[in-house]
Structure 1
Amino acid sequence: MAASKVNTKIELQFGDKAVTEDQLVAAAKKAYGKKDIKSLDIYVKPEEGRAYYVVNGDVNGSFEL
């Protein structure tokens, strides 16, 4: 029996802000600025007001939340 797909929503809430998974992914892609993304890891640090990303296991950067 195949596992059924579960619709999920992830929203990070901190202070008076809220950011969704889709918003984080879009912001990381925009900050990276290229189309050659095979993998994308995002690490959110609300206390710093920043998110850090790693593209394709070797290119990294950050953006403001």
Structure 2
Amino acid sequence: MKASMFIEYQGLQIEEKDILAKIKELWVKDGNKIKDIKELKMYVKPEEFAAYYVINDDKSGKIDLK
């Protein structure tokens, strides 16, 4: 089964996989390897046009969704 999840809010539409890709990009840019991600939590706040994340209960950050 293939599934997709979209977040829509005030004309914005973003797919879960796009948020995940941005987080991975930031992780690698900081000198880490994708294989080192053991756990990823994503929190989407449409009213802020932002997604927050926590990687391995250690590294956290925010990405803009606009």
TM-score, shorter chain, exceeding 0.5: yes
Q: What's 2:6 paired with? A: 11
SS in structure 1 opposite 2:37?
coil
- Larger of the two Rg values belongs to structure: 1
Tell me, in whole angstroms, the C-alpha distance in 1 between the residues paired with 2:2 and 2:37. Answer: 24
Name the count of aligned residue pairs.
Answer: 60
Tell me, in whole angstroms, the C-alpha distance in 1 between the residues paired with 2:25 and 2:46. Answer: 19
RMSD: 1.2
Q: What's 2:26 paired with? A: 31
Q: More helix by proportion, 1 or 2?
A: 2
SS in structure 2 opposite 1:9?
coil
TM-score for both structures, normalised by structure 2: 0.79
Give 1:32 shift: 2.6
- Shift >4 Å, 4+ stretches: none
Tell me, in whole angstroms, the C-alpha distance in 2 between the residues paired with 1:64 and 1:49. Answer: 6
Give 1:11 shift: 0.6
Give 5+ residue unaligned stretches, structure 1: 1-5
Q: What's 2:41 paired with? A: 41
Give 5+ residue unaligned stretches, structure 2: none
SS in structure 1 opposite 2:17?
helix
